[in-house]
Amino acid sequence: MEFMSTELMAPKIFSSCHVFNTPDFNLLATLESGQVFGFTKEADGGFLGALNQVEVRLRQEENHLLVETEGETVLEEAVRRYFDLDRDLNLVYSHLLSDPRLKPAHKAFKGLRLIRQNPWEAVAGFIVSANNNVKRIQGIWQRLSNSLSENPRIFPSASAIAISNEPALRKIGLGYRAPYLLATARKIADSPERLTQIDQTDYEEAKELLMKYPGVGSKVADCILLYGFHKLEAFPVDVWVSRFMRKFYFRNRKVSEKRIGLFARKRWDSLAGYVQQYLFHAARCQVIKL
């Protein structure tokens, strides 16, 4: 499969660097916890990618987040909003610390924050994520950007994918997800307002609306609601979350993903999505043994 890795591309030189005071932030955990697929880690620990369709290099030095961009294009407010920097995480921590099963996740990943990414990118990314692994999703993300986007470092728009075709998407490696992504891109290119309206819709109805898009089932819809619309009661139940929840809260009984979601919302209420992110990352990284 031929695709240009970012390392082989001309090295990007950024002209300006913005510094953010971030006393309770963990960039590494935030970007490596499976919320976004478009950032590639560099040798010095920095990350190259795009934030709101703007190329950036991100780096953390102790209590400072450094955002390199071309010109003065990055708005202060946009970055704070993207990384949810103005949230007091102590409410999340109180959930994690009051439960011995979740404590290791706090210790390992304190400062992990939920990202508010572009809704379309969340839709596309998590359609690709179905029965897939993070490494492969990232590769597909890069190849979609390289082959279908005007700027190969930025993820293609819905319209750009809409004018593609199934064989091209299969060649990129989407497999059986190719027709799903294509059909959904075309629906969203046709009426983008149907997607953006979800922002003002409550969780339950928003989930139903999202599941009308091909390739979007219950779990993917929850991911889109959590990472694309910042609806924090969303509790995506993938294989890792399912294992964790069954082992620690359901005595290893087999329970439906729907029941797990209901249980989580009852227990952690409007912060269920945040708790999920910590426990998913901890389970997947084996910080918590399952």
Footprint of DNA (CB under 7 A): 1, 33-35, 126, 129-137, 139, 170, 173, 175-176, 180, 211, 214-221, 223, 236-241, 256, 258, 276-277, 280, 284
> C-alpha distances in angstroms, 13 versus 27, 70, 107, 146, 147?
21, 8, 36, 19, 22
- Burial-class residue 243 by CB neighbours within 10 Å (0-12, 13-18, 19+): middle
Q: Is 15 helix (H, G, I), strand (E, B) or coil?
A: coil
Q: Is the dihedral of CA 113, 115, 26, 247 positive or negative?
A: positive
Q: Which is nearer to DNA, 69 or 261 (CB)?
A: 261
CB of 59 to DNA, least distance (A): 22
Select which of 41, 219, 247, 289 is catalytic: 219
Of all helices (H) and strands (E), which one includes residue 162? helix 158-162
- Burial-class residue 1 by CB neighbours within 10 Å (0-12, 13-18, 19+): exposed
Q: What is the largest CA-CA distance in the chain?
A: 55
Q: Which is nearer to DNA, 122 or 162 (CB)?
A: 122
Q: Which is nearer to DNA, 66 or 287 (CB)?
A: 287
Q: Which is nearer to DNA, 89 or 220 (CB)?
A: 220
CB of 16 to DNA, least distance (A): 31
CB of 37 to DNA, least distance (A): 9
Which has the closest alpha carbon to 282: 243, 234, 252? 243
Q: Which is nearer to DNA, 133 or 197 (CB)?
A: 133
| Residues 246 and 254: beta-carbon distance below 8 Å | yes
219 is catalytic: yes
CB of 216 to DNA, least distance (A): 6
CB of 288 to DNA, least distance (A): 14
How far is it, in rounded angstroms, from Cα 156 to Cα 225?
A: 20
How far is it, in rounded angstroms, from Cα 178 to Cα 221?
A: 18
Residues that are catalytic: 219
